[in-house]
Amino acid sequence: MTPTRQTRSASRARARRITSKSQGAKRSVDVRKRLLVLLGAFLLVGIGFVGVLIDLQAVRPDMYVAIGENQRTRTVHLPGYRGTITDRDGFVLALSTPGVEIVADPLMIENPAATAALLAPILDLSVDELTETLRPANDGDRYAMVAADLNDERTARIALLKEDEDNNKALVGIFVRAQENRVYPADSLALPVVGRVDPQEIGYSGLEWQFDEIMQGSGGYERSEAGAFGSITGGEYVFEPAIPGNDIVLTLDHRIQYVTEQALIAHCDETQAEGANAVVSDPRTGELLAMATVIRGEHGCFVPRQNAPLVATFEPGSVIKMVTAAAAVEDHGITADTIIEVPAEITVGDKQFFNHSPAAPYPVRQVIADSMNTGTIGLAQMVGPERLRHYLGGFGFGKTTGLDFRYEARGNVPEEWFGSDLGSIAIGQGVSVNTVQLAAAYNVIANDGLYISPSLIRTMVGPDGEQILGQAQPSHRVVSSETAEEVTTMLTDVVAGGTGVSAAVPGYTVAGKTGTAWQAFEQANGSYGYGESGNRKYVVTFAGFLPAESPELSIVVVVNEPKTATTASKIAAPVFADIAQYAIRILAIPPSDRSLVDPSGQDLVRGTPAPQPGEQVVALGQPADQVAQSDEPVPETD
């Protein structure tokens, strides 16, 4: 081999060694890069797993637990129905029935818009509004009401949606569950008394509010493990029974309640009054048989939500004269036949009071029967302010009735009397009362001088059917039985030939008193006052009971701002007669005239006894000007 050839071979060998080292170095660099990329990928996957674990364990654990439980278990919610409200004879005024509702857990819903798009067409809701409902209001918002009281057709369509696997994710957080629907079978009958509940079945008015906790039940549930083919035999099973709320039985009689409301509506429309209310009770027990309210609306008078007999007050006018008379009889031995001087006018403090009857001596029975203001004020002066205030309190005025009704008004009897107060208060101005207070006061006279607190709840019935009887009604003596009898005689004369003849009920002896009072209202100058002659607003009242010799029924009627007349004799007294004629038949109260009792001895009572020869009968709803009048003139004011 020549040197030249040796040189070329050596050069090629060096070139191969250099190339081999370069390729080795390059391969070494590529492997390191690949290892770094692979390590980075593992790190990213690891971070992802850690993120998922954090999400599962810390961020949204409730959601995934719920999903797992929904897949593994089946839970049936058992509502604890709210207690029923019935009248004294079991007539249902309020009850709860089974229903279906849709609720949502906003924190479990990933895409509110998608969920809303599925549900809105079925529920007839706006997609946008439903989307807002499904969005959480805050970090702790776990509940939203989607729809209540679903019918069977909509419930079935939503069930089909939930069975579709394509919708499972969108419907996570949507729950269809049993609910209770509060139903009022008698519609607006006794609405102001019974009250109503809100969409969550929470009472917000009337007895529904007052006894909300007592009537609320506690829900239960039934939970079992479920597999692809139904419940798993031997799997977990939990049963928590629902407990219904307590039932309430009222003292009301739905028949008397109905006729009272209808009579008030008829007379409210007829007299163009702004409203009217009435209370019917049993004076022997204080039980309220009816408590009704109507007010004027755009299309006539109707039953509202406000329970005026307890929450509204008014100046009673002459019906309060019964208290003045009772105080004079009790403290000074006055009788119905005691003769007193009745002036044409009398001054008390800085105020003059006038009388519509001529000045003369009159028996007290006529002073009350003809509602003589100055004569009554004379009796009040004999009694004195301190004692008259004492008796007003004893008859229950200025105090709550004990019914604990929401927004109940206690009325007002001034603590201190000045100037003309004695004269005003003696004839029913300057004090305010509610209708139930007035009914309880007249029940004192009907019940031989004993005050018995009015009652509205007859009993309660627990979930086990056991009756929870209330405590005995508080009572106290106000006047003696002799005083009560003497005052009853005076009140009987009011209906027999005085201002209350329109309250007469054929066959029955009625005792009662009319009352007409001015109503304070805002004047043109912004102050409150009674207005001037020709520009006054009136509240008219009749309070009474029957049979006078053995009372079993008392009724108070109050009419607010009548337009066709301004006296209780023409406005309130006829309503008393209408209600009484119906109630005596329902309660089977024997008439005062025993000739009207069935001779078979069964004491069958006719609601409207047959007329005697020459007698005019008052029919239900008959206008006041058609009622038979006494031969004695009836004063226009009472």
DSSP 441-484: HHHHHHTTTEEE--B-EEEEE-TTS-EEPPPPPPEEE-S-HHHH
Please spell the DSSP secondary structure of 15-72, one letter per residue.
Answer: HHHHHHHHHHHHHHHHHHHHHHHHHHHHHHHHHHHHHHHHIIIIISHHHHHHHHHHHH
Establish if 43 belongs to a structural domain: no
Per-residue tokens: 506 = 């054929």
Boundary of a domain, candidates 189, 223, 250 = 250
Range picked from 237-246, 533-542, 550-559, 611-620 for highest mean pLDDT: 550-559
* Average pLDDT of the residues in 269-289: 97
DSSP state for residue 135 in the 8-state scheme: S
Phi, psi angles (nearest 5°) of residue 519: -115, 125
Which residue's structure tokens are 């969005």? 135
* Average pLDDT of the residues in 307-336: 96
Cβ-based neighbour number of residue 92 at 10 Å: 15
Kind plus residue range of the DSSP H or E element containing 208 = helix 206-210
Kind plus residue range of the DSSP H or E element containing 353 = strand 351-354
Least confident piece of the model among 37-51, 81-95, 352-366: 37-51
Mean of pLDDT over the chain: 84
pLDDT for 336 = 96
Per-residue tokens: 582 = 């119906």
pLDDT for 80 = 73
Residue 364 or 241, more confident:
364
Q: Which of 103, 102, 108 is nearest to 64 (CA)?
A: 108
pLDDT for 453 = 96
One domain, residues 183 and 285? no
Percent over 70 (pLDDT), the chain: 81
Establish if 471 belongs to a structural domain: yes
One domain, residues 233 and 351? no
* pLDDT at 625 > cutoff 50: no
* Average pLDDT of the residues in 560-588: 95
Q: Which of 323, 333, 541 is nearest to 422 (CA)?
A: 323
One domain, residues 337 and 429? yes
C-alpha triplet 622, 627, 633: angle, nearest 5°: 150
* Average pLDDT of the residues in 533-542: 88
Least confident piece of the model among 43-57, 383-397, 466-480, 588-602: 588-602
pLDDT for 28 = 58
* pLDDT at 613 > cutoff 90: no
Q: Is 416 exposed, middle or buried (0-12, 13-18, 19+ CB in 10 A)?
A: exposed
Q: Which of 565, 520, 571, 519 is nearest to 541 (CA)?
A: 571
One domain, residues 353 and 237? no
pLDDT for 232 = 57
Q: CA-to-CA distance for 152 and 373, rounded, in angstroms?
A: 67
> What is residue 338's three-state secondary structure?
coil
Q: CA-to-CA distance for 193 and 128, rounded, in angstroms?
A: 40
pLDDT for 620 = 30
Phi-psi group of 378: left, alpha or beta (phi > 0 → left; psi -120 to 50 → alpha; rest → beta): alpha
> What is residue 164's three-state secondary structure?
coil
Q: CA-to-CA distance for 193 and 214, rounded, in angstroms?
A: 17
The domain containing residue 479 runs over which residues? 254-626
Boundary of a domain, candidates 203, 234, 250 = 250
* pLDDT at 124 > cutoff 50: yes
Boundary of a domain, candidates 226, 250, 274 = 250
* pLDDT at 122 > cutoff 60: yes
pLDDT for 634 = 32
pLDDT for 533 = 74
One domain, residues 499 and 375? yes
> Which pLDDT tens digit goes with each residue over 175-232?
887 777 889 999 999 999 999 998 778 999 999 999 999 998 877 766 666 655 455 5
One domain, residues 413 and 335? yes
Query: Which CATH number goes with the domain that contains 84?
Result: 3.90.1310.10
What is the maximum alpha-carbon separation in the chain? Answer: 176
Structural domains of the chain, count: 2
